[in-house]
Amino acid sequence: MVSSSKFTEMVFESRNVVKLALGMSLLTVVFFVVYRAPINPLYLMPRASRGVSDLSSAALASSISDTREANLQKVLNCAATDDKTVILTTLNEAWATPGSILDLFLDSFRIGNKTQRLLRHLVIVALDKKAYDRCLDVHAHCLVLTTEGADFSEEAYFMTPDYLKMMWRRIDFLRTVLEMGFNFIFTDADIMWFRNPTLHFYPDADFQIACDRFNGNSYDANNMPNGGFNYVKSNNRTIEFYKFWYNSRMTYPGRHDQDVLNKIKKNSFLSKLGLTMRFLDTAYFGGLCEPSRDLNVVCTMHANCCYGLDSKLQDLGLMLEDWRKFMALTPELKLSRHASWSVPHNCSLSSYRRVRTKKKVPEQVKS
């Protein structure tokens, strides 16, 4: 970011620079990333102006892109661990309002077993301004990512054009994070964190992902992955993989990222890349599709296979209550009784299967 003194010198350097600076508020950008700056966040939402030449517009667009990347680099550096790993989640206004998904998500870190310290590495990526503003109220590391022509503030309907734009924008953004040299743990915000999941990651894997159904073999591509939780190392293999994944949306039009992943996970291109993909055990990384039955070992629980925000909120609340009751037990009782979940309760799997056959299923992110 240019300092105020340097900026003043630039303004008086030439009238052309003055015009360029004034035109900055008028140029349209496709999307922008905002970092929670120490004093005020920087918003880049300029519109097009006749007074700016094509050459100046190109230079301005390049300047904005550089600023956006610098802001992203700044927040990732601030949140990263020593080995440059960050935890990322995305959410919109519907999930960020008080009492909604975001509050439950953050609460799980606070009541989990040695998970509160992980919050310092969490970056919340808001999909609209209201979600970003709420993030600033409750968390330290906030970005905003928007997509031209799409409004993600409300519950996005499953498989609608805006839903697909949101999913594919996320994949492209994650590729950018990898290219900047950061490893990441991506987590949907409807995943509760109860223990540090890194203890159960595979050290040899480039890309590892949670499952709706796990068959017992972490190398078997016949497992059913769920894109709501994955750990990805930054290297040439994963960068090329994310490019291939993103470009494959054209090969399989009208499908979301998880469907396309299922189509490409056995593709020979991944073997040529040398990419090591592994699938995470639902005993540690569970969900409502296939719950982690033993609270003595569970790390995360996902409100997947669930229809509607209200149902998610109710069952996530039950998860947190189950966990609190478990943590209140003595060590002896925790081991002697096979503690488990009272969910799914409102998230009926039978109703979830029925609504998936309808044209529109309201969800903020894929289930």
Compute the CA torsion angle 260, 161, 155, 352 (nearest 10 deg): -50
Residue 307 confidence (pLDDT):
83
User: Do 294 and 338 contact (CB within 8 A), yes or no?
Assistant: yes
What are the structure tokens assigned to 221, written together? 């591509």
Exposure b/e, 128-165, CB count within 10 A at least 16 = b: beebbebbeeeeebbbbbbbeebebbebbebbeeebbb
As a whole number of Å, the CA-based R_g of the chain is: 22
Q: Per-residue confidence of the chain (367 residues) as pLDDT tens digits?
A: 444 444 344 433 444 444 444 444 444 333 344 444 433 333 333 333 334 455 555 555 565 567 778 899 999 999 999 999 999 999 999 999 999 999 999 999 999 999 999 999 999 999 999 999 999 999 999 999 876 655 555 555 455 667 788 888 999 999 999 999 999 999 999 999 999 999 999 999 999 999 999 999 999 999 999 999 999 999 999 999 999 999 999 999 999 999 999 999 999 999 999 999 999 999 999 999 999 989 999 999 999 999 889 999 999 999 999 999 999 999 989 988 777 899 999 996 655 455 455 544 444 444 4
**Shortest CA distance to 88 belongs to which of 202, 173, 163?**
173
Residue 151 confidence (pLDDT):
58
CA atoms within 13 A on the CB side of 304: 27
pTM of the complete model = 0.80
For each of the domains in the chain, give its residue range(s) and CATH number, in order of start. 26-77 (no CATH), 80-188+201-279 (3.90.550), 286-362 (no CATH)
The per-residue DSSP string of 209-240 comes to EEEEE--S-TT-TTSEEEEEEEEE--SHHHHH
Residue 336 confidence (pLDDT):
80
